[in-house]
Amino acid sequence: MFYSTQILAKKGPLGTIWIAAHLDKRLKRNQIFETSIPISVDSIINPEAPLALRLSGQLMLGIVRIYTRKVSYLYDDCTSALSKVQQ
């Protein structure tokens, strides 16, 4: 096994990232904002236990999906703030 099951547990450091990679629609907005992308990337690049290449790729996909949703939420918030200012 090329990973520790504790790393990918729901409450584990990469659990939310794994869920984002496989079950993207299941994540809530709060979970997205609680995820720190730099810390998650660092734990994938320098893992406590060795990670398989496929798992590393899946986790990077999860990070990209979380980043995309964060940017989308920021864009929506900025657009709504701009429309309120213009009124």
The two structure tokens encoding residue 76: 């929506």
Structural domain for 31, as ranges: 15-86
Decide if 79 contacts 30 (C-beta within 8 A).
no
Q: How many domains does the chain have?
A: 1
Instruction: Note whether residue 8 is domain-resident.
Output: no
Instruction: Note whether residue 5 is domain-resident.
Output: no
pTM: 0.88
Decide if 3 contacts 26 (C-beta within 8 A).
no
Instruction: Note whether residue 31 is domain-resident.
Output: yes
pLDDT (tens place) for every residue of the chain, 87 residues total: 566 677 777 777 899 999 999 999 999 999 999 999 999 999 999 988 888 899 999 999 999 999 999 999 999 999 999 999 998
CA 8 – CA 38 distance, rounded (Å): 17
